[in-house]
Amino acid sequence: MTASAFRAVLARELRLALRHPADTLAAVLFFVLVCALFPFGVGPAPEALARLAPGALLAAALLAALLPLDRLFGADAEDGSLDQLLLSGLPPAGIAAAKALGHWLTTGLPLIVATPVAAALLNLPVAAWGAALAALGLATAILSLLGTAGAALTLGARRGGVLLPLLVLPLAIPAVIFGAAAIEAAAAALSPAPFLLLLGAGLSLAAPLAPLAAGAALRAE
């Protein structure tokens, strides 16, 4: 019963995202535009761009993934759907987990699809594209989880949209460091595996803890 309720909530998230693709498109556009603006600021020297590319990719992707987060629970809270979800028999942590997975599928995954375009704009060596896809996949998943907890905590707070990045981004710093390090390693023809494994460890830590924190915050709401 809990599993089917989880699937129902997730299916509704995906259906709503398909019906209103503007949020997803805005995040992808933001990501690509930031990466397109970088060469103008840094100058067109290919080596300088390639040096900055890993960090720029990570920072742009995480900021883009943050965009739809402040409405993650807000829309449901305003129209009364959140009350119904809390009475659905699905534990609050399960609701949060479904929301986090939905956020990753509708924001993180499209960002990964757009990564080759962004990587080309930043002159990232093609040899490092695989590592970039893996690093961004793991880092955006971590951000979806942390962001869900942040969105649940700031729900109902005045200026929640300002509070949310302040709360979430500091926690996401390790994901930026290890993600960029993985891409740099691959660009230097070294193995990105250790850094990707560290990202994976972060993800496996956030996967159970963030929904629990978000669930507790939703219950206290």
Partner 1 sequence: MLEARDLACVRGERGAVFAGLSFRVPAGGALLVTGPNGAGKSSLLRVLAGLLPAAAGAVLWQGADIAADRAAHARRLRYVGHHDALKPGLTVRENLGFYARLWGGEAGPALEAVGLAPLADLPVRVLSAGQRRRLALARLALGLPGDGGAALWLLDEPSSGLDAASVARLAGLFERHRARGGLVVAATHLPLPLPQAAELRL
User: What gap in Å lies between CA 143 and CA 49, rounded to an integer?
Assistant: 25
Give me the least distance between CB of 17 and partner 1, in Å please: 10
Quick one: which segment of 15-23, 27-35, 46-54, 204-212 binds partner 1 (CB under 8 A)? 15-23
State which of residues 78, 120, 126, 127 lies at the interface with partner 1 (CB under 8 A).
78
Residues of the chain by 3-state class (helix, strand, coil), percent to 5: 85, 0, 15
Coil, strand or helix: which one is 73?
Answer: coil
Given the complex with partner 1, which of 1 and 189 has the nearer CB atom?
Answer: 1
Residue 12 within binding range of partner 1, rule CB under 8 A: yes
Residue 177 tokens read as 């460091």
Residue 21 within binding range of partner 1, rule CB under 8 A: no
Annotate each residue in 86-105 with x if it binds partner 1 (CB under 8 A) or - if it does not, as one string: xxxxxx--------------
Nearest CA-CA partner of 16 in 66, 79, 90? 79
> Residue 147 to residues 68, 70, 131, 169, 183: CA-CA distances in angstroms?
10, 9, 23, 9, 23
Given the complex with partner 1, which of 16 and 33 has the nearer CB atom?
Answer: 16
Residue 20 within binding range of partner 1, rule CB under 8 A: yes
Given the complex with partner 1, which of 81 and 191 has the nearer CB atom?
Answer: 81
Alpha helices by DSSP H, 80-192: 81-86, 92-103, 109-121, 129-154, 160-187
Q: Residues in the site for partner 1, rule: CB under 8 A?
A: 4-5, 7-9, 11-12, 15-16, 19-20, 78-81, 83-84, 86-91
